[in-house]
Amino acid sequence: MTLMHALTTTKERGLIIPIPQVEPRTAIPLQNLRIPGPTPVPPAVLAELASPVINHRGPEFAAILRRVTARLQFVFQTNAPMLTFPASGTGGQECALVNLFSPGEHVVAITIGHFGNRFAQIAERYGLQVTRIAFPWGEAADPAIVETRLHELAPYRGVLLTHNETSTGVTNDLQTLSALIRRHNPDALMVVDAVSSLGCIPLDMDAWEIDVVFTASQKGLLCPPGLMMIAAGPRAWEANAQARLPRFYFDWARARASLERGQHPVTPPVSLFYALDLALEMLLAEGLEAIFTRHRHLGEYVRKHVRAIGLHLLADPVSASNTVTAVRVPEGIDAKALLNTLRERDQVVLAGGQEHLSGKIFRIGHMGSCEVRDLFTALNCLQVSLKEFGFAAGTHREERLAQWQHYKRGQRTRHAS
């Protein structure tokens, strides 16, 4: 830089960055958010976000971290160390891979949709040798096929699995798959993406001998997006000591050492920890079994009434997810226009399809903070809109109403007892 250049002001050099002219801020609308994550956050949890920010190296944060860690272990059904990172679900996929493997190692990815593919892609980016056992979108992994393919593909160091495939609304039979993988290869590292299942449907990490499970805050855990939690069992920690993939931000060893001091290696999103602290208290108060039952009812309710409207499900009912339902778009209906109408007119927000299913399906989320009344409203609005779009929707509103009233009576009885 010349002296002359240094002495001229930004203004003289014509390098003024103008104040941006942006659209004014508007109030965030109150919507019936029925996408499969992020999910609605209960008002009490939202209120926690407004608490004052505290020192993340102080005793108050340490107490929160201790509570959250112990409760997460319970929700994961594990005694394994539980680490939390500021990240989303994709961060969980990356975090698991970089802490477990070395370049060139062979892993098998069991994929049934978009998020299983993403997991495999990240592994490839990090230089792992990835073999996919891929199933058609809308189907669960068939244990018999997995078993045969594993025999053909051995040796392999790890298996990547998606518990619940959010892009297709399909749940894998994780208990059966994990048992057969363990039987076939007792040393395999079993890594499970539980982003859209944990805290909604059963997952017993230790009992099912799974090595690593991760999830994120914005689905079943009643929180806004921003936190990822990952548990790693003894076999995974042994692998971690040998794993040579590069890592820094997601390094388990650093996170575990900090956790022992009641801290986090980086500045954690303390406000999200307040939210998670209360959310876990609420989840435990409801009880895991009650949560699983609620989600089973929600899944059955949606599937039953989607069919009653005259629509078709993408998934086979046997493996249909109790956290998200994928619905085929009827012939001749513009899915984007339908979802826009629902959002703008009824404040009902559904999700579209991903990749080749874009325009072919839409998805209804029913995980986390969700009750039948939310689905009742959403399905009624859907039925009305479909009719306006020219689809001869069924007329099962009365049945839906009766079922809702039945459900409400049950709830009142529960509360009264």
Identify residue 134 by its one-letter amino acid code. Answer: A
Burial degree of 389 (CB within 10 A; 0-12, 13-18, 19+): middle
Q: Per CB under 6 A, does 88 bind ligand PLP?
A: yes
Report yes or no: 200 and 221 within 8 Å, Cβ to Cβ.
no
Of the candidates 193, 211, 251, 277, which one interacts with ligand PLP according to CB under 6 A?
193
Of the candidates 32, 33, 34, 37, which one interacts with ligand PLP according to CB under 6 A?
37
Q: Per CB under 6 A, does 191 bind ligand PLP?
A: no
Of the candidates 95, 216, 279, 298, which one interacts with ligand PLP according to CB under 6 A?
216
Q: Per CB under 6 A, does 326 bind ligand PLP?
A: no
In the complex, what is the shortest distance from the CB of residue 230 to ligand PLP, in angstroms, rounded to a whole number?
12
- Output 158 or 330, the one with its CB closest to ligand PLP: 158
The residue range among 8-16, 42-50, 191-199, 278-286 that interacts with ligand PLP, by the rule CB under 6 A, is 191-199
Of the candidates 32, 39, 78, 166, which one interacts with ligand PLP according to CB under 6 A?
166
In the complex, what is the shortest distance from the CB of residue 401 to ligand PLP, in angstroms, rounded to a whole number?
32
Report yes or no: 197 and 216 within 8 Å, Cβ to Cβ.
no
The total number of residues written for the chain in this structure: 417
In the complex, what is the shortest distance from the CB of residue 88 to ligand PLP, in angstroms, rounded to a whole number?
3
Residue-by-residue DSSP string for 252-268: HHHHHHHHHTT--SS--
- Output 323 or 383, the one with its CB closest to ligand PLP: 323
Q: Per CB under 6 A, does 162 bind ligand PLP?
A: yes
Of the candidates 69, 196, 341, 385, which one interacts with ligand PLP according to CB under 6 A?
196
- Output 166 or 322, the one with its CB closest to ligand PLP: 166
The residue range among 12-20, 82-90, 127-135, 409-417 that interacts with ligand PLP, by the rule CB under 6 A, is 82-90
In the complex, what is the shortest distance from the CB of residue 204 to ligand PLP, in angstroms, rounded to a whole number?
18
d(CA 12, CA 203): 65
Q: Per CB under 6 A, does 90 bind ligand PLP?
A: yes
The residue range among 15-23, 192-200, 326-334, 350-358 that interacts with ligand PLP, by the rule CB under 6 A, is 192-200
- Output 229 or 386, the one with its CB closest to ligand PLP: 229
d(CA 387, CA 376): 17
Residue-by-residue DSSP string for 134-158: E--TT-PPPHHHHHHHHHHH-S-SE
Q: Per CB under 6 A, does 217 bind ligand PLP?
A: no
C-alpha R_g of the chain: 24
CB neighbours (10 Å) of residue 297? 18
Q: Which of residues 4-23 bind ligand PLP (CB under 6 A)?
A: none
Give the CB-side neighbour count of residue 268, counting CA atoms within 13 A: 30
Sheet bearing 189-193, strands edge to edge: 82-86, 227-232, 212-216, 189-193, 158-162, 106-111, 129-134
- Output 168 or 403, the one with its CB closest to ligand PLP: 168
d(CA 137, CA 169): 9
Residue nearest ligand PLP, CB atom distance:
89
Task: Tell how strand 158-162 and strand 348-349 pair up.
Answer: unpaired
The residue range among 84-92, 131-139, 181-189, 231-239 that interacts with ligand PLP, by the rule CB under 6 A, is 84-92
Q: Per CB under 6 A, does 139 bind ligand PLP?
A: no
- Output 89 or 265, the one with its CB closest to ligand PLP: 89
Q: Per CB under 6 A, does 269 bind ligand PLP?
A: no
Q: Per CB under 6 A, does 220 bind ligand PLP?
A: no
In the complex, what is the shortest distance from the CB of residue 195 to ligand PLP, in angstroms, rounded to a whole number?
4
- Per DSSP, helices labelled H in 310-371 are 335-346
Long-range pairs for 297-300: beta carbons < 8 A, 24 or more residues apart: 297/372, 297/407, 298/322, 298/366, 298/367, 298/370, 298/371, 298/372, 298/375, 299/323, 299/325, 299/366
Beta-bridge partners for 216:
228
| Of 121, 181, 188, nearest in space to 156 by CA | 188
Residues at the site binding ligand PLP, with contacts judged by CB under 6 A: 37, 88-90, 115, 162, 166, 193, 195-196, 216
